[in-house]
Amino acid sequence: MANEARPCPCALGDRMDYGSLGEEIRIEHVDAYVVKPTSAPGKAVIVIQDIFGWQLPNTRYMADMLSSNGYIVVCPDFFVGKEPWSPSNDWSTFQLWLEDRKPTSINKEVDVVLKYLKDQCGAQRIGVVGFCWGGVASHYMALQYPEISAGVSVYGIIREKEDSYELKSPTLFIFGEKDPVIPLEQVKGLETKLKERCSVDYQVKIFPNQTHGFVHRKREDINELDRPYILEAREDMGPSGPPVVPTHLDSTPVVPTRPDSTPVVPTRPDSTPVLSTMQVYPNPFDLIHKIHHLFI
């Protein structure tokens, strides 16, 4: 498999200067970042970290963006207190680091988080979104947990195993066309195997010219060619309509900033929203069983 030699292509990318809107709590043995909308929606999303850990500001921005669109969002520490990967680490040690942080060894933590969302938050429908390491984890959850209403795997490494295709939850797979470690032939192979073996709805979506990490590790203003794809992929993760910028209680926007403190706002220079080709539904969870109709 082409990505076995270097199983994660991650560079930290554009680390956001972002303070977040939620709070850190303890759910049994798991630390977690939780952010809730003003009203109780009965809908929740589990956001799963990449190798840089649950406290990465970029991932919390994604969590706040989802919550601003009406979801209870929890981002657990699936490393359970173990150190996340550091950009300064030696890649030759990655496999050793990964040994006790496998994205397919998370059942105990998932069970705890699901119980919390159901019993304490009143969540009746629960989705999952994962990035990189978390993309593998969300794919795994879609194979193991039929109570998950919908899953999104964002550039999760493809593991070509016989049990990787019989999804129990509708799942959207997001990839970048120029991801150096997830080649297109593997993505196309995934789609072929899903067509053969998967009995629930799924979607495999490839974003032109994008590399690993483009959804959550690139600033929206990185350049005008990338921005529409970054925003469209963020829209695909769950909210219907263009992404909503998280706001403070006084309705002022909370956005990541550049080094000069000017805001990075997910709009075009003329402030018009970036439109997606996605067909908009009032609530993606209500129609998730038709996920292959969400795009035209």
202 Cβ contact partners less than 8 Å away, ≥ 6 residues apart: 167, 170, 171, 172, 173, 194, 291, 292
Length of the chain: 296
Q: How many other CB atoms are there within 10 angstroms of residue 202's CB atom?
A: 22
Select from 60, 105, 59 the least CA-distant residue to 82. 105
**DSSP labels, 187-224:** HHHHHHHHHHH--S-EEEEEETT--TTTTTSS-TTS-T
216 is catalytic: no
Torsion angle of C-alpha atoms 111, 202, 9, 101, degrees rounded to 10 = 10
State yes or no: is 139 an active-site residue: no
Catalytic residue of the set 8, 10, 50, 212: 212
For residue 32, the surrounding DSSP H or E stretch is: strand 30-35
**8, 75, 121, 132: the active-site residue:** 132
| CA atoms 40, 42, 47, 48: torsion sign | positive
Is 179 part of the annotated catalytic residue set?
Answer: yes
CB 118 within 8 A of CB 27: no
Is 138 in contact with 153 (CB distance < 8 Å)? yes
The answer to whether the CB of 128 falls within 8 A of the CB of 48 is yes
Q: Which of 179, 201, 221, 236 is catalytic?
A: 179
Residue 220 CA to residue 203 CA, distance in Å, equals: 24
Q: Which residues are catalytic?
A: 132, 179, 212
